Amino acid sequence: MERKTGILAPALGVLVLTLAGLTPAAAEYPVAGTDPSQRPVGAPRITEVVRGPDWYERALTGISQPYPPSLRFLEDQGNWYTPFIHPGMPGYYDLRGWHVQ
């Protein structure tokens, strides 16, 4: 039985070789995280955390006062991503009413 490869196999080979030629050399880009005990030279640092009233309003959306003590973690929340201040799933799971607004 003769196998037909058509044009797909040669075209795929040309595409792979073309993309390989366009990829920059690995030495041009530093690899982060190879030594976790050392901070990379020139890595950005967070020097201050800025949270305005709009940040707190968003973080406390759908929560009524008095705020529970478990929300004190917001005082220590830095400039990193937290899913707590973003809408989650709609419908039955939208306990804080993010999708109603």
Convert the pLDDT of each residue in 81-100 to its tens digit.
Answer: 888 888 888 888 888 888 88
Nearest to 94 by CA among 71, 70, 57, 62: 62
Q: Give the pLDDT score at 66.
A: 93
- Omega prior to 83 cis, within 30 of 0: no
Give the pair of three-digit tokens for residue 14: 């040309």
- Spell out the domain ranges in the chain: 53-93
Chain position carrying tokens 């201040």: 85
Instruction: Note the pLDDT tens digit of each residue in 47-64.
Output: 888 888 898 888 998 899
What distance in Å separates the CA atoms of residue 2 and residue 12, rounded to the nearest whole number? 21
Tell me what the mean pLDDT of segment 24-48 comes to. 71
Confidence of residue 65 (pLDDT cuts 50, 70, 90): very high
What amino acid is encoded at 64 in this protein?
A: S
Q: Is residue 19 classed as helix, strand or coil in its secondary structure?
A: helix
What sign results for the dihedral spanned by CA atoms 81, 78, 50, 65?
Answer: positive
